[in-house]
Structure formats: structure tokens, C-alpha cells
Structure 1
């Protein structure tokens, strides 16, 4: 059984049955059978299905958002935005897949030679709990528009969200089997990856789990895309617009109660503006409302699970013990639910726990840099390389972006994912790309076609 605890109350919310091996195999077989038909559909026909699903999501925004609020504690105003963003992703690929997948003519000694982009088959998506709808559509929208079918193995703590996503395709009268929900226990994932019908794997989650998934996929010679953890730097230089930087960095750090891979986790501030910027951060952070995620007044809801909150508290305690100064929060609150207060730590360095490990919660840590070069050195001194932001003048920011070891760099703005732009990491933050034109190319057969006769 997949047992779900409501993180707001700490009480059991509901239980869902997990698939046994026979049922799992049956659903994978259904996806394989559906692929034979789905791959023959035109891109326009696939787009009709995705657009119907997107319309249903928009129409059911309130009900779908409520599932996220109940199962993983996302504030309702953020949950509603996530539903809309997932619908946008479906609509984006419906509108642009034809251009992204267009054949490319290449000159050779053939009468005609070109590359075409063909689907692979059933693709397994192993998804986390922190953005149940957005991450599901980030995975399935490009894969489906490319002509693949999708097997959605969602996190065991959001089974109602997963069921609702699959039901949207039923309501949209999509061809049966093109998106299959696989409610599996963690111990069953290996058999799904190894299943002969599964042609590729997409995984979003921790670096440790990603290593295991990568090893299994490689053993079966199956392509994989991994979007893993991050310890993302936000660099603030002395010529930055400090007010704008503080607004964006606070939002980046606390969205989804700080439970985001691309959140600003290490705020690196050049010394001449360090004290002033800390004041700006503190002023904004202490105004945020922690509480019931079902209230539109709430800015920050609970941590999704009790064990995750305990892990966050350990990281904060160890960082303070190592010499960091705690200006806000830092103490586990009493009462029901898995809440953790907004916390601001300063005088932090890269040897402390909050920088060495990924922190998943509303904890902002500030590091002091002596210069722009020193800030860059601090930023790159991590095993992760997912996303980064830099606040300075535009020309300097674009030049420094080339030196930042991350898959995504934002100059003077909020780090976010966007269906129009590729997203992914380097180092222990994973490999491959999702979204944009690059994302749809991850799970296609890039097939070369040479047509004779040979030309002299």
C-alpha cells in the first residue's frame, strides 16, 4: 500500500494499493500496444489530445491544486499556478513539436540525405513529489508529442495526484494506454526499468537515487535523462540592483517551502554590499506567513514529510554549530504537522553542512565573497551544477555566465523552468535536458536516411 500522511496535520490522509508485478507488466504491455498506433498518428492529431488535456487541467484547476495541498503541503496559491504551468507545457509542445521534430537535410554523396526524428517506444518517467503536475507534464508532453507512450511512476507520497493526471487523459478521450499510471513501491522500480518494453528512462530526484537509476538504465543499454539535486548559487555583486535581487532570491528560496531543486541555496554576496543585502533579505523573510497551505494568506506550508523536516533541522543545527549566525528561525516549532520556520543563516562557508549538502526547505544561507572572482570560485566549489543566478550589470553577467559550472544561468532574474527553454544539470546534478527543443530530442531515434543513387 502507498500510505500518505497529510504534512499539515501529521495524520494519515489515505492509502492507495501498489501494483503487483502482474499488474505492472499488464500496464507496460498496454503502453507498448498503444505505441504501435500512437506513433502512426500525425503531430497534429497528437496535439489535439494534448490540447484537450490542457483545457481540462485549466477547467479543473481548483480540484487538482487541492490534491497537491493535501498530499505534499503546497500552498494553494502555488498549487493553482502549478496546474496552469503544466497546462502551458502541454500546449507549448502541441504548438511547437512539428518545428522541433522537423527533418534536417544534410549534404552528402546521396541524391538526398537527411535526418528524421522518430519515437522510441514506451518511456518510463520516475517522478518526485515536490511538483507533481508540472514535473509529470515536463516529462510526458514532449515524449508524447514525439510519438512515444509514457509510463508514469510517480512518488509514493502523491498517489492521488498521479491518478488525477492519468484520469485527465481518460477524460480527454486520448487513445487508451498512451499514458499509464504505475503506482509502484520503490522496491519495484528496478523491474520496471529492466522491463524489455521500456525503451528509455527519465528520472527526477536526488543524486544518490539518480546514480542507481543511471546504473540500471546503463546495464540495459537504455538512454536516460537525469535531473538531480542542486546547491544552486545566487551571486550578488556590489553593482547589483540590491532590491530587485533580494525580491527574486527570497522568492526562489521559499517557493514550495524551499523544496525545489533549482532554488537559490547559497547566496554569495560581495563584501561591500554584504551587510545591506542581509538586511534586505531579513526584512523580506520575516514578513512571510508560515501556516495552513489551504489558506490563500499562507506563503509557506509544511515540509512534505517528517523525515525530511528532521533532515533539514540536522543540517541547520550542524551549520550553526560550525559557526554560522542564525538571524531568523532555526528552531523546530511545536504543534501538529511538519512545519519548519523561515531561517536565515549568515557567516556561512562552503565547508559547512548547509553548503556541502542540498537543503530542501525555507533556509537561506549567505556567504561573503571578497570579489567577483572569489564569488565565482565559491559558486563553483560544489559537486552540483544545476542552476545559478548572478546579479550585476548585463555585460559582466553574461561574461561571468560562461565561467559558472551549471546547466542554467540567469542574469538579473529569477531562476525558473520554462517550456520554451532547455533545463538540466552537469556534475552530480545529472545529464540530459528537459524542455525546449532539446528536451523533445532526448527520446527520439535520430535516424539518418541516405537515398541513392550516389552522386559523383
Structure 2
């Protein structure tokens, strides 16, 4: 059983606190590793290392920083299978699925880093009087990245690219539920000491990192409640924050689409990664004209999502990350059934070891049930039948969350109307479409702060203007 350490200033070291936590494999319920519980002293050491390394890192030419990052990406790519196996051990994701997301994360990291080569870090504008105005984009300094447990490696890579390429240094605090793969990612680092640092633990590490006076930006992905605390703490000391929080993503299925093919796509969007994706399809509004055929096909598709250990190539649906998350999922289903919802498939905790929950389809749900109002983060597909596309669109936009949305329609007018959904990303006829160049900002309780493409560099830098008057003759 491995005991994890912090990575600070290019060196692996034990926590300053003796508090340790067990890491449990959610498929077997066996303890597979131990890691620090976290402490302010750990955070201080990591931030000090980041602060010390930042000036030298920022002084490198942009092309040299990008070269370092591309070299690291190449090393990570060589270990994608190993990292996927570690994600499987710590949070249950099937290995093949994990590898595909890790490979996507590596590609996104490369694209984001290379964006620095054309980003306008310095722009000079001539004045009519012979003066010059230069706009410089300075790095912020030492920054913090706090990531969730559902995509450990891709989420770290997604945040690091622009921050590092812009000249910042970073302290990463991964979720205490999935630190194993992130620790291995840092073992593979080819960056200079102190440019990236890792502190492990729960809120005992997260809170002091957010509150640290030398941190200039906090990039946080997690729950709404935790995000509110991060926003309050960073706002109180005038520190920037990027917050990607909860989601309750709607799907609107219009009349005229193929109900069977669309149901298969919605099943994937609802059940992949056992529903543990911020943009999982969690509210499904289907037009009454195709509702019967759609639901039948959705139930049939759900039956193909077989439960099992992610190391088994036959497994489609791994376990939920832990017993607490499974309890949340089952509580949402139980609440819906008690209020009149009908379970069409699934809906019960299997009698087996591991934190498994089956792909579940619910009908006869309404917008007052927990499964329609709170983030479930599990393999649940609740279906509401609507009388028109317009009704589906209106109900899709009625949530306090506004992270993503998906619309299936063959009607061009309806597709145009879908652009008005108040979401950071709206997919039309293809869930998760688009590449790493996409730009978005969550709305409502799903967070704040634009990310993606050049917006990520805008967030990672501070603009300053230098005005030079003409030299007197």
C-alpha cells in the first residue's frame, strides 16, 4: 500500500502534519493508499516554493516555457494507460474510458500551451502625436488550482496550460478522493523545481490555500457550497477566482428526430462515467409525439450499461466514487418515487461489494423533485414529457444551474431558438461537441469566470499600459 507525499519545490516530502487518510478503491472497498490530511504548514511551504520559482519562470521567453510544457505533455502521453489505471483504482472509471479522456486532456493541454505563442503579451499602438502606448500582459504570480475527483488528470491539465504558459507558477490541491493519479502526474513532471507544486489533503489543505495572501488566482472546480466559500474568501482579499461549480444540465428532444438514435445518445450523456460529469444530462424534456418510442429506447439502452470493475474490458458502468455519493444518488431516486415517479429500469442499490448503482430511467417526474432540482451526479435519466418544443426550452432554462445544455432537433428555427438557453455551453445535435478552442463562462450557480481559448490567458494575466510621450526635439 502506497503512502503519498507532497511535491514541493521539485522534492517529495512528508506532510508537516501527522494526520493521514485512507484511499479506498470504490469497486472493491479495499484501502489502496494513504495520503496526508493536509495542513496550513504544507500549504505555506508549497506557496513559498511557487513564489520563489515564479520570477525565473516568467523571465523565460514564451517559446521556451511552451517547449517545457510540450515536453511534459509528451512524457504524460507515454504514461496515459498507467494514469488511466490509477484513476480506475481511486474513483472507479473504466480504464478504456479514462484513457480516452486523459488523451483528450493531453491534447487540450498542448493546444492551450501553444496558444501562448500567438497571444498578445505585448502590443504597441502608435499615437498621432508621435507617442506610443504599449499594453503589457503580466503574469499574476503564484496561483492555486483545486480540482475535483471525477476527472483527476484531465482537470489538472485543463487548468495548468494557460497558467503556466503565461508565466505563473502553480500549487495544485487535488480532491482527497482521487489523489493517486495526480501524484503520479507530478512524478512525471519535467518542469523546473517550484513551477508546479502538489499539496494533498481535504479542506485542511484547501482552505489555507484559498486564503493564502501570496496566491493571486484560485482556479476551483467543485460544489456550489464550496465555491461560494472560495468566492467569498478570494473576493475579501481582492484575489481573482475562476469557479466551475454544479450542473443540472437539461436536454430538449424535439419531435422529428430519430427517437432510437437520440435515446442512445442521451443514455451516453446520462450514464458515461457513471453520471459523474459536471455536464451530465440530468434533466430530459422530450416532445410528446416521440416520447413513448424514446423512453422505450432509453430503457433498452440503459440495460446495456453493465456494472463492474473498471479493470474488466466488459465493464461499461463503474462504481460511484464512494458510499456517500451513492447515498446522494439513491436519495434522489427515492424522493422521486415517493412523489410519484416511475422507475422504468434500475433504481436500487445492488447486493454486491463496491459502491455501484445501476443505470436508471425515471418517468412521471416533475420539476419539484430532488432529481430535477439538485445535482445528482449519478447514472440517472429523469424524463419529462412536454407538449411542445417551446415548453421544453422554457423548462430547460428554468434551473438555478446554467453550465451546459443539449438540444436535439431537425428544425432550424428551433435550433436558433436554442441559442437563448442561459448556459455556458449549448450543444445542438451532438453532446460534448467542439474542441479545446471553445470559450465559455458558467451562469447562475454553476460558477463564474470565462475559460477556454484566449479568455484563459486574459484570466491568467494582468494588463498594464505604458504610455511613452515623444522625445522633445
**CA 1:106–1:316: 2 relative to 1, 3 Å:** farther
Query: SS of the residue aligned with 1:441?
Result: helix
Residue 167 of structure 1 corresponds to: 187
Say yes or no: does 1:324 pair with 2:341. yes
Say yes or no: does 1:275 pair with 2:292. yes
How many Å separate the matches in 2 of 1:103 and 1:117? 6
| Structure 2: gaps (5+ residues) | 1-19
Q: How does 1:42-441 map to 2 (within 5 A)?
A: 42-104=61-123, 111-169=131-189, 172=190, 174-393=191-410, 395-415=412-432, 418-441=435-458
How many Å separate the matches in 2 of 1:262 and 1:299? 19
How many Å separate the matches in 2 of 1:382 and 1:14? 39
C-alpha contact (below 8 Å) 1:3/1:157 kept by paired residues: no
Instruction: Provide the TM-score with structure 2 as the length reference.
Output: 0.91
C-alpha contact (below 8 Å) 1:138/1:435 kept by paired residues: no
C-alpha contact (below 8 Å) 1:206/1:228 kept by paired residues: yes
Query: SS of the residue aligned with 1:13?
Result: strand
**CA 1:245–1:113: 2 relative to 1, 3 Å:** farther
In the alignment of these two chains, the number of paired residues is: 452
How far is the alpha carbon of 1:234 from its aligned partner? Answer: 0.8
Instruction: Provide the TM-score with structure 1 as the length reference.
Output: 0.95
**CA 1:100–1:348: 2 relative to 1, 3 Å:** farther
How many Å separate the matches in 2 of 1:408 and 1:243? 25
| Structure 1: gaps (5+ residues) | none
Output one character per residue of 1:389-439: Cα deviation in whole Å (capped at 9) or x when no partner: 111136324422332011110111013674211244100000012222222
The match for 2:43 among 24, 27, 34 is: 24
**CA 1:177–1:379: 2 relative to 1, 3 Å:** same
C-alpha contact (below 8 Å) 1:154/1:162 kept by paired residues: yes
How many Å separate the matches in 1 of 2:21 and 2:433? 31
How many Å separate the matches in 2 of 1:241 and 1:453? 68
Query: SS of the residue aligned with 1:265?
Result: strand
**CA 1:221–1:168: 2 relative to 1, 3 Å:** same
How far is the alpha carbon of 1:106 from its aligned partner? Answer: 5.6
> Which deviates more from structure 2 when the two are superposed, residues 392-401 or residues 21-30?
392-401
Say yes or no: does 1:37 pair with 2:62. no
How many Å separate the matches in 1 of 2:246 and 2:140? 27
Query: SS of the residue aligned with 1:449?
Result: strand
How many Å separate the matches in 2 of 1:388 and 1:181? 34
Query: SS of the residue aligned with 2:402?
Result: coil
How many Å separate the matches in 1 of 2:109 and 2:69? 6
Query: SS of the residue aligned with 1:157?
Result: coil
Q: CA RMSD in A?
A: 1.9
How many Å separate the matches in 2 of 1:73 and 1:347? 31
How far is the alpha carbon of 1:9 from its aligned partner? Answer: 1.0
Output one character per residue of 1:169-219: Cα deviation in whole Å (capped at 9) or x when no partner: 1xx2x1111110011331332222222211110110111111111111111
